[in-house]
């Protein structure tokens, strides 16, 4: 596949193209074996280009059938084709180029470009998939008005969709012919086409200016009863974006299509979002509360892209976080408004600390605005998405809600219809607020997680607290000697009564009263708090105000106090997690004991009905093994597993009565609904059940009974997981068998069944994973199934993945090599756990590295896999 070593592309080499494409008219003739694509491109020479400049188009896996320039068929010498390009000579200032290509969607297993999923056709063009459809200027700064004709067998394809408005639709001699026209200019990555025999669920939305929009969700016939929730979430998103950002929808129709084979979560194609079916379909019997919340967030995310991504798009792919970071920030605020804001913040901080900090500390570390890449698909990362969102969130904290809104208004107004850079976004924030964000911009340029060290001294005589904060940022590949970043430290000083003390700090300019934020902008700074009449407890980085690591020794007593009394919910949780981490590390050294005062605090939390149950559930959840690993200097996964289990067992055993009482109290007879109050209660109820099962046989019996009587997937799945994790293998086997019997016809539920087993410490042994891979429910071509088995195994069943003889690593490496040919994007993503070899204890580290070297020796590596493996071995 690969002839030479793949080359890196650099941000610094960015240049505008020599031509623009004003208008793009596409005709698709869908035939059984292949599809014919005719593209008419109205090209206009860039003012900056030389007259006579050649037109250089990208193309991949295309059969070129004909080329016509301004009505004249082109002959050899007037054009050249390369491995992945087409060069055309002889264009005028304005020329029309017509290109006919043949493509083979049924053979397209990479799921980029036009492909078949089950009986339907669909597309995925971001980032560089359009070039698998036709030769094109496949780059986001080339924006064009698209008209799309689709011709297909009428019986097989009653539904034919593309972007924009339907302008023609007829059946002629057994052929279904439609034309769609999208009046908004867009880059090719937002193009979409869908063909199939689909059912539709319809609704309407009236925009803030009274415009009527048709909303349609298209699904395969068996899924029509799983569309209500997404439709509802869509309407809530549309209203929220009007109210929060003043953004109105801009077409008369908005469509969502669910497809089973999809590399990612969903795609924001203009007016025609395409979703992984797992991120849109739900009903109470088949979807858990967690799935409902994911659906709400992703529907919102894709909808919000209509402004942050589509109306204002990216100049080049180095600016990816311009749309993704901002849009994740927008969907996070939406989810926070719809549900518990604190719980959402905790979930996001958890992802940052486990996944993003790990990426920052590994071989693929890159800035939010990367300066180079080999394969752009590898840069759809937690750094671009989640850290990008955190950076936008810091701007929100620094500028305040109103200042941020002024900035976003200016950004949308100034750049509507343009392809811009991350700095255009920051510039709008600066201009609207008359602030200088030069220092802040370092967040976009520097990779790595800053570490903030805290020192505080209380002077009772002077009634002063001196707080010294210093920051450093570790080296990352290609970057050393980093500069200080602008770190917003939201904080409180807590008195003995649990109340926040009034803040009077010097220098006063470093404090923003409205957001309670202290601005750390230098490598080291000392702040003096005056009028402090008692030694306060410090609550720092409230609400996870910056994506940093904090080095700060606080006593167990202080942490227990914060866990109970901090007015900031996030820091209550954080104090609890820090305590639990200390117990786990004590357990690793064989000296852990659950103190009676801790037990009592937990008992009180469980009984406190004034608290949000979902919050209590977070407070009592142990950090995951991956989270613990991130807080360890050298990672010994088996020791972490054993220590965590010991702490979990101790909590379960000493609070059996409290967990069972909490469980009983939260039992409900109300009909299931995916609404926040119910979801919150279920999350604590099922956490209590999980502990109760570990603590006593009664708990196990109750879990089996809940499994049998559940009328919704949340309770059924929670009971199943509790039984599987209890180690009661006979009951587990029985329930898993029943579950498969009940749900074998529902692919999304079967995927959950695969993942519960593959990710379980009790079951997920290497030999068992091999059995799952051979199970009729498994399919190598379907990314959701690959993630359900191999993703769950390598990211969750850590005690088996890190088996002493390296068999877990070998299994994953074999899977990567197998997927390398058929689906490189998925192959490269699966590799992530193998990139962490440097952090492991020496024996495991060597075994893991050996598997990377084995992959590297393969002589036909895709760019995707090559980039990750080669960077991991440097
Ligand atoms: N833009 C999409 C989103 O975040 C991401 C995406 C969907 C994607 N499918 C993809 C990225 C395939 C790369 C390849 O909403
Ligand atoms: Zn996105």
For residues 18-33, give the mean pLDDT: 98
Same-domain pairing of 108 and 219:
yes
365 lines ligand 1 (CB under 6 A): no
For residues 26-31, give the mean pLDDT: 99
103 lines ligand 1 (CB under 6 A): no
* Dist. CA 46–CA 836, nearest whole Å: 46
pLDDT in tens, 279-296: 999 999 999 999 999 999
Instruction: Using CA atoms of 239, 240, 245, 247 in order, give the dihedral in degrees to the nearest 10.
Output: -30
826 lines ligand 1 (CB under 6 A): no
298 lines ligand 1 (CB under 6 A): no
Same-domain pairing of 715 and 582:
yes
pLDDT in tens, 674-703: 999 999 999 999 999 999 999 999 999 999
* Dist. CA 145–CA 132, nearest whole Å: 19
Which parts of 12-129 are beta strand (E)?
Answer: 19-30, 35-45, 55-58, 63-69, 72-73, 79-82, 85-88, 94-103, 113-117, 120-124
Same-domain pairing of 750 and 676:
yes
Q: Is 455 contained in some domain?
A: no
What ligand has the least distance to the C-alpha of 380? 1
Cβ contact 659:699 at 8 Å: yes
Ligand 1: which residue has its CA nearest to atom 1?
Answer: 267
**Which of 557, 582, 617 marks a domain boundary?**
557
Q: What percent of the chain has pLDDT over 70?
A: 100
> Residue holding tokens 């850290």?
387
For residues 189-214, give the mean pLDDT: 98
Q: Is 408 contained in some domain?
A: yes
Cβ contact 693:656 at 8 Å: no
What ligand has the least distance to the C-alpha of 376? 1
Cβ-proximal residues to 789 (8 Å cutoff; 6+ apart), any chain = 754, 755, 758, 769, 772, 773, 778
SS3 426: helix
505 lines ligand 1 (CB under 6 A): no
Residue 652 has pLDDT above 50, yes or no: yes
For residues 801-818, give the mean pLDDT: 98
Q: Which of 102, 63, 105 is nearest to 86 (CA)?
A: 63
What ligand has the least distance to the C-alpha of 324? 2
In this structure, the strands spanning 94-103 and 35-45 are antiparallel
pLDDT in tens, 124-163: 999 999 999 999 999 999 999 999 999 999 999 999 999 9
For residues 169-195, give the mean pLDDT: 99
> Residue holding tokens 């981490």?
581
* Dist. CA 728–CA 721, nearest whole Å: 11
For residues 383-412, give the mean pLDDT: 98
Question: Catalytic residues, which ones?
Answer: 302
How many CB atoms sit inside 10 A of residue 72's CB? 10
How many domains in the chain? 4
- Tallying the residues shown for the chain, one arrives at 874
Going from the Cα of 195 to the center of ligand 1, the distance in angstroms, rounded, reads 20
Atom of ligand 1 nearest to the CA of 301: 15
392 lines ligand 1 (CB under 6 A): no
Q: Which helix or strand (DSSP H or E) is residue 204 part of?
A: strand 199-206
For residues 432-445, give the mean pLDDT: 98
User: Please, which pLDDT band fits residue 2 given cuts at 50, 70 and 90?
Assistant: very low
Q: Is 415 contained in some domain?
A: yes
Global pTM exceeds 0.95: yes
Q: Which helix or strand (DSSP H or E) is residue 539 part of?
A: strand 537-539
How many CB atoms sit inside 10 A of residue 653's CB? 13
Assigned token pair, 228: 């209500």
Residue 430 has pLDDT above 60, yes or no: yes
Atom of ligand 1 nearest to the CA of 302: 15
Ligand 1: which residue has its CA nearest to atom 5?
Answer: 267
268 lines ligand 1 (CB under 6 A): yes
- Best substitution site from 122, 138, 265, 269 to test ligand 1's pocket, by max atoms within 8 Å of Cβ? 265
pLDDT in tens, 33-68: 999 999 999 999 999 999 999 999 999 999 999 999
Sign of the C-alpha dihedral computed for residues 793, 795, 799 and 800 taken in this order: positive
**Which of 531, 557, 583 marks a domain boundary?**
557
Q: Is 509 contained in some domain?
A: yes
For residue 572, the domain's CATH number is: 1.25.50.10
SS3 700: helix
For residues 839-860, give the mean pLDDT: 97
Q: Which helix or strand (DSSP H or E) is residue 808 part of?
A: helix 807-822
Cβ contact 784:260 at 8 Å: yes
- Best substitution site from 380, 787, 862, 863 to test ligand 1's pocket, by max atoms within 8 Å of Cβ? 380
433 lines ligand 1 (CB under 6 A): no
Same-domain pairing of 21 and 97:
yes
For residue 513, the domain's CATH number is: 2.60.40.1840
Same-domain pairing of 403 and 467:
no
- Best substitution site from 264, 308, 864 to test ligand 1's pocket, by max atoms within 8 Å of Cβ? 264
Same-domain pairing of 468 and 522:
yes
Residue 185 has pLDDT above 60, yes or no: yes
* Dist. CA 152–CA 34, nearest whole Å: 12
Helix axes 747-758, 729-743, angle to 10 degrees: 160
Longest distance between any two alpha carbons in the chain, whole Å: 95
Q: What angle do CA 239, 240, 244 make, to 5 degrees?
A: 125
Assigned token pair, 106: 């049924």
Phi, psi of 69 (to 5 degrees): -110, 120
Ligand 1: which residue has its CA nearest to atom 11?
Answer: 126
* Dist. CA 390–CA 329, nearest whole Å: 7
For residue 134, the domain's CATH number is: 2.60.40.1730
Going from the Cα of 305 to the center of ligand 2, the distance in angstroms, rounded, reads 7
pLDDT for the residue numbered 576: 98
Q: Is 192 contained in some domain?
A: yes
pLDDT in tens, 93-102: 999 999 999 9
Same-domain pairing of 276 and 337:
no
* Dist. CA 559–CA 566, nearest whole Å: 10
Same-domain pairing of 621 and 651:
yes
263 lines ligand 1 (CB under 6 A): yes
Going from the Cα of 364 to the center of ligand 1, the distance in angstroms, rounded, reads 19
* Dist. CA 420–CA 425, nearest whole Å: 8
Cβ-proximal residues to 35 (8 Å cutoff; 6+ apart), any chain = 28, 29, 102, 103, 104, 105, 114, 121
Residue 43, beta-bridge partner list: 21, 95
* Dist. CA 280–CA 275, nearest whole Å: 7
Structural domain boundaries, residue 539:
462-472+487-557
Cβ-proximal residues to 1 (8 Å cutoff; 6+ apart), any chain = 821, 860, 861, 862
Assigned token pair, 868: 């990750």
377 lines ligand 1 (CB under 6 A): yes
Q: Is 206 contained in some domain?
A: yes
How many CB atoms sit inside 10 A of residue 94's CB? 12
Cβ contact 346:365 at 8 Å: no
Give the full edge-to-edge strand order of the sheet including 199-206: 199-206, 212-219, 253-259, 272-276, 266-267
Going from the Cα of 629 to the center of ligand 2, the distance in angstroms, rounded, reads 28
Cβ contact 465:457 at 8 Å: yes
| Integer Rg of the chain from CA | 28
* Dist. CA 492–CA 592, nearest whole Å: 31
Q: Which of 157, 180, 192 is nearest to 30 (CA)?
A: 157
For residue 388, the domain's CATH number is: 1.10.390.10
Give the chain's mean pLDDT.
98
574 lines ligand 1 (CB under 6 A): no
Cβ contact 333:244 at 8 Å: yes
pLDDT in tens, 588-613: 999 999 999 999 999 999 999 999 99
Q: Which of 667, 711, 671, 705 is nearest to 686 (CA)?
A: 667
Assigned token pair, 319: 């600016």
pLDDT for the residue numbered 805: 98
Q: What angle do CA 397, 400, 401 make, to 5 degrees?
A: 110
Ligand 1: which residue has its CA nearest to atom 3?
Answer: 267
pLDDT for the residue numbered 4: 66
Q: Is 457 contained in some domain?
A: no
* Dist. CA 365–CA 448, nearest whole Å: 7
Same-domain pairing of 791 and 838:
yes
* Dist. CA 103–CA 91, nearest whole Å: 26
Q: Which helix or strand (DSSP H or E) is residue 9 part of?
A: strand 9-10
- Best substitution site from 115, 124, 308 to test ligand 1's pocket, by max atoms within 8 Å of Cβ? 124
pLDDT for the residue numbered 625: 98
Same-domain pairing of 280 and 321:
no
Same-domain pairing of 548 and 581:
no
CA 150 to chain centre: 33
Cβ contact 195:150 at 8 Å: yes
* Dist. CA 253–CA 230, nearest whole Å: 16
* Dist. CA 289–CA 687, nearest whole Å: 13
How many CB atoms sit inside 10 A of residue 762's CB? 17
* Dist. CA 696–CA 653, nearest whole Å: 8
* Dist. CA 868–CA 362, nearest whole Å: 11
Q: Is 453 contained in some domain?
A: no
Atom of ligand 1 nearest to the CA of 377: 13
Cβ contact 822:781 at 8 Å: yes
pLDDT in tens, 577-589: 999 999 999 999 9
* Dist. CA 583–CA 635, nearest whole Å: 17
Cβ contact 324:313 at 8 Å: no
Residue 1 has pLDDT above 50, yes or no: no
Same-domain pairing of 634 and 521:
no
User: Please, which pLDDT band fits residue 438 given cuts at 50, 70 and 90?
Assistant: very high
pLDDT for the residue numbered 5: 85
Residue 244 has pLDDT above 50, yes or no: yes
CA 702 to chain centre: 35
């Amino acid at each position: 596949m690969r002839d030479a070593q793949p080359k890196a592309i650099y941000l610094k080499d960015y240049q505008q193209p020599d031509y623009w494409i004003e208008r793009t008219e596409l005709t698709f003739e869908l035939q059984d074996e292949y599809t014919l694509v005719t593209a008419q491109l109205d090209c206009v020479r860039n003012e900056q280009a030389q007259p006579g400049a050649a037109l250089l188009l990208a193309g991949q896996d295309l059969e070129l059938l004909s080329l016509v320039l301004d009505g004249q068929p082109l002959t050899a010498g007037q054009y050249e084709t390369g491995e992945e390009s087409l060069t055309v000579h002889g264009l005028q200032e304005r020329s029309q180029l017509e290109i006919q290509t043949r493509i083979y969607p049924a053979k397209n297993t990479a799921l980029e470009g036009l492909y078949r999923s089950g009986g339907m056709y669909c597309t995925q063009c971001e980032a560089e998939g359009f070039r698998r459809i036709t030769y094109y200027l496949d780059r986001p700064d080339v924006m064009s008005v698209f008209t799309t004709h689709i011709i297909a067998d009428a019986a097989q394809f009653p539904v034919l969709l593309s972007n924009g408005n339907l302008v023609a639709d007829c059946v002629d001699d057994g052929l279904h012919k439609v034309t769609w026209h999208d009046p908004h200019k867009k880059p090719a990555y937002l193009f979409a086409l869908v063909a199939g025999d689909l059912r539709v669920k319809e609704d309407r939305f009236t925009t803030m200016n009274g415009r009527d929009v048709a909303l349609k969700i298209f699904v395969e016939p068996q899924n029509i009863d799983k569309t209500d929730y997404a439709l509802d979430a869509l309407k809530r998103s549309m209203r929220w974006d009007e109210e929060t950002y003043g953004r109105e929808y801009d077409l008369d129709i908005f469509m969502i299509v669910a497809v089973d084979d999809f590399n990612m979560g969903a795609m924001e194609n203009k007016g025609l979002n395409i979703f992984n079916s797992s991120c849109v379909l739900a009903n109470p019997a088949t979807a858990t509360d967690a799935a409902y919340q994911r659906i709400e967030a992703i529907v919102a995310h894709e909808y919000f892209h209509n402004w942050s991504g589509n109306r204002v798009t990216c100049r080049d792919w180095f600016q990816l976080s311009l749309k993704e970071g901002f849009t994740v920030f927008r969907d996070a605020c939406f989810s926070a408004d719809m549900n518990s804001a604190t719980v959402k913040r905790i979930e996001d901080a958890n992802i940052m600390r486990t996944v993003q900090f790990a990426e920052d500390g590994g071989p693929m570390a890159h800035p939010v605005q990367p300066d180079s890449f080999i394969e752009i698909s590898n840069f759809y990362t937690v750094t671009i998405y989640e850290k990008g969102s955190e950076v936008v969130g810091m701007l929100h904290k620094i500028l305040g809600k109103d200042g941020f809104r002024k900035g976003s208004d200016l950004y949308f107004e100034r750049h509507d219809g343009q392809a811009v850079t991350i700095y255009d976004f920051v510039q709008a924030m600066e201009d609207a607020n008359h602030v200088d964000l030069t220092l802040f911009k370092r967040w976009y340029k520097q990779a790595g997680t800053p570490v903030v060290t805290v020192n505080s001294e209380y002077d009772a005589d002077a009634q002063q607290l001196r707080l010294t904060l210093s920051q450093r940022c570790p080296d990352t590949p290609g970057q050393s000697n980093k500069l200080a970043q602008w770190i917003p430290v939201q904080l409180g000083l807590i008195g003995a009564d649990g109340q926040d003390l009034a803040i009077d700090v010097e220098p006063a300019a470093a404090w923003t009263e409205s957001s309670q934020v202290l601005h750390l902008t230098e490598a080291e700074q000392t702040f003096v708090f005056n009028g402090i009449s008692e030694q306060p407890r410090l609550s720092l980085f409230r609400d996870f105000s910056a994506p940093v690591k904090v080095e700060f020794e606080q006593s167990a007593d202080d942490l227990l106090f914060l866990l109970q009394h901090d007015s900031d919910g996030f820091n209550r949780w954080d104090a609890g997690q820090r305590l639990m981490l200390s117990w786990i590390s004590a357990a690793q050294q064989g000296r852990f004991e659950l103190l009676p005062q801790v037990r009592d605090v937990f008992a009180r939390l469980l009984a406190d009905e004034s608290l949000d149950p979902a919050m209590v559930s977070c407070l009592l959840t142990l950090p995951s093994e991956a989270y613990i690993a991130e807080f360890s200097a050298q990672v010994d996964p088996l020791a972490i597993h054993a220590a965590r289990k010991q702490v979990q067992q101790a909590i379960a055993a000493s609070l059996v009565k409290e967990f069972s009482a909490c469980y009983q109290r939260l039992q409900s007879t109300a009909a299931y609904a995916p609404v926040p109050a119910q979801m919150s209660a279920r999350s604590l109820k099922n956490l209590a059940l999980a502990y109760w099962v570990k603590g006593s046989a009664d708990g196990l019996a109750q879990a089996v009974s809940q499994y049998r009587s559940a009328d919704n997937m949340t309770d059924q799945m929670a009971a199943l997981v509790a039984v599987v994790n209890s180690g009661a293998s006979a009951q587990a086997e029985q329930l898993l068998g029943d579950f498969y019997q009940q749900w074998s016809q529902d692919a999304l539920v079967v995927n959950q069944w695969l993942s519960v087993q593959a990710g379980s410490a009790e079951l997920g042994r290497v030999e068992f994973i091999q059995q799952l891979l051979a199970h009729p429910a498994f399919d190598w071509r379907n990314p959701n199934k690959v993630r359900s088995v191999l993703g769950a195994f390598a990211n969750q069943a850590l005690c088996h993945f890190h088996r002493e003889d390296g068999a877990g690593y070998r299994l994953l490496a074999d899977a990567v090599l197998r997927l390398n040919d058929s689906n490189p994007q998925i192959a490269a993503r699966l590799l992530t756990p193998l990139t962490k070899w440097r952090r492991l204890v020496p024996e495991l580290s060597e075994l893991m590295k050996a598997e990377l070297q084995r992959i590297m020796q393969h002589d036909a590596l895709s760019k995707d896999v090559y980039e990750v493996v080669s960077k991991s071995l440097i």
